[in-house]
Structure 1
Amino acid sequence: MTTPTPNTLAVALVQHACSADRAETTARTEAGIRKSAAEGAQLIVLQELHTSLYFCQHESPDLFDLAEPIPGPSTEWLGGLAAELNVVIVGSLFERRAPGLYHNTAVVLERDGRLVGTYRKMHIPDDPGYYEKFYFTPGDLGFEPIDTSVGRLGVLVCWDQWYPEAARLMALAGADVLIYPTAIGWNPDDAPEEHARQRDAWITIQRAHAVANGLPVLVCNRVGHEPDPTGQLSGSQFWGNSFVAGPQGEFLGQLGAEPDVLRVDVDLARSEQVRRWWPFLRDRRIDAYGDLVKRFRR
């Protein structure tokens, strides 16, 4: 581990399995946060919906009881850790905004424990085993970076990671890094070749966001098998593989499929250099992109 310089951001990703026991799950999260801080991290990123099992594998009105207000118990807990350890933490929570109105919401806690920003997931999937449209209202806060003591954080969430528009808008708003808390896995019944294709596509698209925008990308995914409570499907095998990529898409660090903490130093000054070499923002034809706001052109 190196000592961070003024242009270096020490980041850590906390990748772990979740269980039906909330206390056990949050204890794993907290242990990862403390380990990250002990290794010198200034910015710690947690996985999507890290306080519980991934409940969206089926639809049940009872599961709305997992939601909580923001600010609320989890932001108080994360804020206390941020203040104690002098770190910035990016968390991911099931937000109860009002009766019948819920979001998949990322939260950012500053070094002094303050909640300094939120991002509500904009793109909401609805696939077998990922019935998020039943639970989450699409975000209404737009693609706005969150200002912190360690930089402007372009926080997005999971399904957002497949959309180049989301990454681009965060970059155009001045984000210093792109951050993706994630819960993604494969169907255990699919062939190994299909598993590899899905995982590789997920890695490739996010590395492409780094390249296209000249920004570092931080991705934190959960691990472990979580069964389908209905027994209709074989559950999800969350594949982990959390990683940090530099502004040319280069791997700065990557985990496998086991619980772990990834601690990486990110040179923020490289974004300026890379954007001078590859001036994609300069050469964008903004006069010709109007059709991007259409659903389809035919």
Structure 2
Amino acid sequence: MVRIACAQMAMSANMEENYQKSLDYVRRAATAGAGIICFPEGQLSQYIAQYAGLSGDDFAISRTHPYIQGFCQACREHHIVGVFSLALREKDRHIYSDMLVIDETGQLVTTAAKNHIVRAPHFYEQDYFTPGNDGFLVAPTRAGRIGLIVCFDRHYPESFRSLALQGADVIITAVANETSEPRDVFQWEMRIPAFQNSLYTVMINRTGREGMMDFCGESLVAGPDGSVVALAGTGEELLLADLDFAKAAALRQEKQYLSLRRPGICALP
């Protein structure tokens, strides 16, 4: 049994404040007995992509930034696996919307970039982010095999199936969902793949008002039977849930949704 903590945060315009709040959530999660803590998309800054064509200099950091070193130290100190969501500027000067997994020893295990970048009202992400090309990645940790999906990528069912076939125990999706979006549909986007792949799925959202956007919170943990294991409210919250990976593995064997697949009959490009 592994306890997961979801840090449903409101972000200020001050990156240092968001960093310190993130560290506080790590401490609170460890005190609550969690083995994993996860954060919403772009946890260090307000959501700049709601505006078209601004500079990315104020919200993207490098891999060598002291904040990442601080997250590594916090995970090591509190003996917890951290799933952080950051905008990283790489050596090629491109910015990626990344999820980073840092294990309980403070080592960076995996970095996964958002693969599909949207451009729509309130979501002008193509003005800022470069799509990743590494596909969907699973981070092996002592707290389980963690599959990673960044926000918009969850709209593609192949993302969940790919991670399930790689042996993920839990799939964590960092998002930035606002109140005007179809919140019931977003729940089903977690619950249906949890059911279809007989594993746990997690959606961790922002909350609060930022510019033109109201983020709705309502972070979710779905069980391998498609049930809602835990659901947050609309404000700031540390959502906790216990994940029974052995029970999920038994259900996968019983349901056989994965083992009976016949990929050769699917006419997919």
Paired amino acid for 1:39? A
Give runs of aligned pairs for residues 108-187 of structure 1, distance below 5 A. 108-187=101-180
Q: How far apart, in 1, do the equivalents of 2:162 and 2:64 lie?
A: 26
Paired amino acid for 2:193? H
1:213 aligns with 2:168: no
Computed over aligned residues only, the root mean square deviation of the Cα atoms, in angstroms, reads 1.4
Q: How far apart, in 2, do the equivalents of 1:71 and 1:262 lie?
A: 30
Percent identity of equivalent pairs: 33
CA contact (8 A) 1:15 1:221 kept: yes
Paired amino acid for 1:239? C
Matched positions, count = 269
Give runs of aligned pairs for residues 1-298 of structure 1, distance below 5 A. 8-187=1-180, 198-227=182-211, 235-291=212-268, 293=269
How far residue 150 of structure 1 moved from its aligned partner, in angstroms, is 1.1
How far residue 71 of structure 1 moved from its aligned partner, in angstroms, is 4.1
TM-score (norm. length: structure 2): 0.96
Q: How far apart, in 2, do the equivalents of 1:209 and 1:267 lie?
A: 17
CA contact (8 A) 2:190 2:202 kept: no
DSSP-derived class of the 2:67 partner? helix
Q: How far apart, in 2, do the equivalents of 1:99 and 1:252 lie?
A: 41
TM-score (norm. length: structure 1): 0.87
- For residues 235-284 of structure 1, the C-alpha deviation after alignment (integer angstroms, 9 at most, x for no partner) is 11101001111101111111010101011111111222211221111232
CA contact (8 A) 1:108 1:118 kept: yes
Q: How far apart, in 1, do the equivalents of 2:215 and 2:224 lie?
A: 26
Paired amino acid for 2:201? V
How far residue 26 of structure 1 moved from its aligned partner, in angstroms, is 2.0
Q: Tell me which structure has the larger Cα radius of gyration.
A: 1
Instruction: Name structure 1 gaps, 5 residues minimum.
Output: 1-7, 188-194, 228-234, 294-298
Q: How far apart, in 2, do the equivalents of 1:125 and 1:78 lie?
A: 29
Corresponding residue of 1:190: none
CA contact (8 A) 1:75 1:107 kept: no
Q: How far apart, in 2, do the equivalents of 1:269 and 1:177 lie?
A: 12
Instruction: Name structure 2 gaps, 5 residues minimum.
Output: none
- For residues 104-146 of structure 1, the C-alpha deviation after alignment (integer angstroms, 9 at most, x for no partner) is 1110111111111110111212110111111111111211211
Higher deviation after alignment, 86-95 or 57-66: 57-66
Q: How far apart, in 2, do the equivalents of 1:121 and 1:134 lie?
A: 14
DSSP-derived class of the 2:61 partner? coil
